[in-house]
Structure 1
Amino acid sequence: MRHKILKISALLLLIQLAGCANLGVQPWERDLLAKDEMALDSEGNDLGLDDHIYFSKEGTSGGRAFAGGGCGCN
C-alpha cells in the first residue's frame, strides 16, 4: 500500500512540474500580442473621454504624461 501511495505522489509531482514547462511568450507569438486590439488601452473612445474628464477637472492639456495644474474653472 505504501509503494502505491509513493508511486501516485511521484506521478502527481511529475505532472505538476510538467505544467510549469510552458511559461512565457514564445518569439513567434509576440506579433499577435503586439496588435492594437491586444493593448490594455485599445478603446480609443474611452481614452478620449478620460482625457476630456481629466482636462476639465485639472485645467491642463495632455494630462497623462505631463505635469501641470489649474483651477479647472474654464
Structure 2
Amino acid sequence: MKIIKQALPALFLATCASVSGCAQVAPWERGNLAKPHMALDPYPLQSAFRAHIYGSREAASGSGSAEGGGCGCY
C-alpha cells in the first residue's frame, strides 16, 4: 500500500506529460492557424490607436508633445 501511495504522484505526472496537447500540424493545416482571428491581438492597429488615446488622456506618455490633462478631456 505504501508503494502505491509513492508511485501515484509519478504516475499522475507521467499521464499529464503524455496528454500535454503537443501535436504535429500538417503543412496544409497551418494556414488555419495563421488566420488573423487566431492571433493574440487580432486588431493591432486598433489596439495601438486605443493605447495612444489612453496615453494622451492619462498624460502617461511622458515628456513630449501635448498630452491630455489626466481628466479624460482631449
In the superposition, the TM-score normalised over structure 1's length comes to 0.43
In the superposition, the TM-score normalised over structure 2's length comes to 0.43
